[in-house]
Structure 1
Amino acid sequence: MSLRIASWNINSIRARPHLIQQLVADHDIDILCLQETKCEDNAFPRAAMEALGFRHFNLAGQRMHHGVAILSKLPLEPVYRYDWQANGEARHIAVRLPSGVVLHNVYVPAGGDIPDRALNPKFGQKLDFLSRMTDWSGALGESSIILGDFNIAPHPEDVWNHKALLDVVSHTPVEVEALTNLRESHNWVDLGRRFVPVPERLYTWWSYRASDWQASNRGRRLDHVWASPDIASTATALHTLVPARSWERPSDHVPLVAEFDL
């Protein structure tokens, strides 16, 4: 089966349903994985999404903060939700695809502004989240796709200025090491860099603070799609939809669209 799976930190689904409408108009999406939906499940705009062709919903919502969702045009089997922080934050949801492959949608904590767990508990929370994910990943015994907003840009070419961002949360060496440990724990294949190898630059996020994001182009690759090594060859494409950063009332992230033959 050929599947087109999109991942997008939408930064509030209720504020930006028009972005989903434009995405679907431009691309034939079978499954849409959203992060930072910022609404409880009973407030999710189902009717608007159903009008776009999505009939099946797997939601892990949270009012005003966090929240992940998987919308699909085909039936999917709910699998489980993990709370890697044991604090009730809605940051993970998983479903089983018709092929049996499990699809994980994850929203990793941003980690605050100071890259020091002693001075910034949010940074420690992020590292602990990744450590628990790594323990889970190392014991994973089923073919899987994991995607979402990982809030880490691992390669020097994943940020606009490697040296300038070494002390900035999302690109610090300790975060890069944590993400590398996670990837290596299951030998995940980073599809972003499979289709766009380094040293080519690749970004998925641009700050709202820039008056002209295109002119400054101070981007970071915070969003990822990884596949288990046994199914990585079924991925036929991964598109980073950079123009979406200029759509009306945009998210600061752009969508990724991965194509699989599963």
Structure 2
Amino acid sequence: MFYSKLVPVSPQTLGQSNWLRPTIFPLAVHHQFMPVCLSELPRAAAHLPIIFLGQDEDIAPRLMMSLVPGENHYFTPGGKCLEDYLPMVLRPYPFAKVRDSESGTDLLCIEEEYVVSPDTEDSIPIFTDEGQLTPHVTKIMQLIKLIEKERLVLNRATKLLNKLGILADWPVKIKIGQDKQHEYTGLKRVGRTYLHKLSAEHLPALHECAGLELAFAQIISSNHFRRLNKWANIRRKKEMEENKMAGEIFGDADADFLLNWEQDE
């Protein structure tokens, strides 16, 4: 998802190599949506809108990173995160777990460009002198497993919310400049009216599967569309200055992106 060229991590090939901790995430800049995990819900809801994407069995929660398809305004064009919250799915980077198509086993891999020689400044060993993964890399492996587990939990919670009729379509229309308009389809949110009308007999099941926590996090995060609006305008203004195209398409900062989303009936 966020990788360019992965190589397997093994003592035979990387036993004498180190790795560098990334400071930028260049392949994230084109992802408008990212998965969200259970343990990060409070922080995620404080920084970005949480929405639901997909239909029926494929529906899942996502972080919305931009109003513009194909762009990520939570990161700079160079891949630097704008704030101190980094989405959990990016934290194992440059490591990843990959399923070997031949053996069917899972392999720990690393982005090749982050593999360096041991004398590289600020680099971290991959293996110990005994050929075992260092504690640091072991913790990253554990994080990868935790991310997979938590995503499954939230996916099940989302399916239950949808099955109980709590999720509602969320039509969002974005007007860019004077004549360009993009309408999102397929976005869903928690319908507060539907949540209030929910029978008490369903609350234990929602609580047990983290459905209530997810629902409240999504509701709280909704106002962050305004932050996406602000970041989009900042990005466009900077692009206009760099390309000397100010005023050709976009107007005032407060009018570039006009958002309209329907409220619960």
Question: If the TM-score is normalised by the length of the shorter chain, which range does it land in?
Answer: under 0.3
Q: Which has the higher strand share?
A: 1
Which has the larger Rg? Answer: 2
Q: Which has the higher helix share?
A: 2
Instruction: Provide the TM-score with structure 1 as the length reference.
Output: 0.23
Work out which structure has the larger RCO, using CA pairs closer than 8 Å and 6 or more positions apart in sequence: 2
